[in-house]
Amino acid sequence: MDNLINCARCGSDACYVEEVNQDIKTYFCYGCGFQSNSLMTQNSEFLTQQSEVLPELYKDLFFEDPSGMIWMPSAVNLPQQGMIFAMGNNASEWTWAAVKAIPVTEEEKEKYPIPGKEGQYYEWRMDMTTLQNYPERGYIDALSYIGVLPE
Ligand SMILES: [Zn+2]
């Protein structure tokens, strides 16, 4: 069963819970943009694997809730809409960054080849000139900006 609960990290009532199976639940908070799941606990194999690929900032922002679950910033990447990721120097100096996707034009398509596919090009690209920063609690606004949620 899916439902909204209070976020164990920021306290907003916009934390979306999804039950994957009897033992595993995933959590995605639209209030603060952080996510977690039942497997993300201190020293767990899951967390160790994640830590190997996560940017330093994401690790800096790890948050352990009272139940022992670790929360981390989400990273959204939707090829035809845009992306949202945490950006900054450290846990006390960061913002969300939202970037819009735009269609690749005929003139520029040569610059965006699909690796391993001769003669094929991406139809969308991230337009870094659209980058906008949002505060932590502005995560919903960032989602609206790239068109995931209505304005
Ligand atoms: Zn939250």
What would the pLDDT profile of 15-53 be if each residue is shown by its tens digit? 999 999 999 999 999 999 999 999 999 999 999 999 999
Centre of ligand 1 to C-alpha 12, Å, is: 6
Centre of ligand 1 to C-alpha 148, Å, is: 18
Residues contacting residue 89 through CB under 8 Å, at least 6 positions apart: 57
pLDDT of residue 150: 77
For 141, the token pair is 């606004």
55-81: average pLDDT: 96
Which of 138, 111, 114, 151 is closest to 127 using CA atoms? 111
Q: Which amino acid is at 13?
A: D
Which residues is 41 bridged to in the sheet?
Answer: 69
The answer on pLDDT for 117 being more than 70 is yes
pLDDT of residue 1: 47
Kindly list the strands in the beta sheet with 82-90, ordered across the sheet, starting from the edge strand earlier in the chain: 76-78, 82-90, 93-103, 124-134
* Predicted TM-score of the model (pTM): 0.90
**What SS3 class is residue 76?**
strand
Rounded percentage of the chain residues whose pLDDT exceeds 90? 95
Centre of ligand 1 to C-alpha 105, Å, is: 38
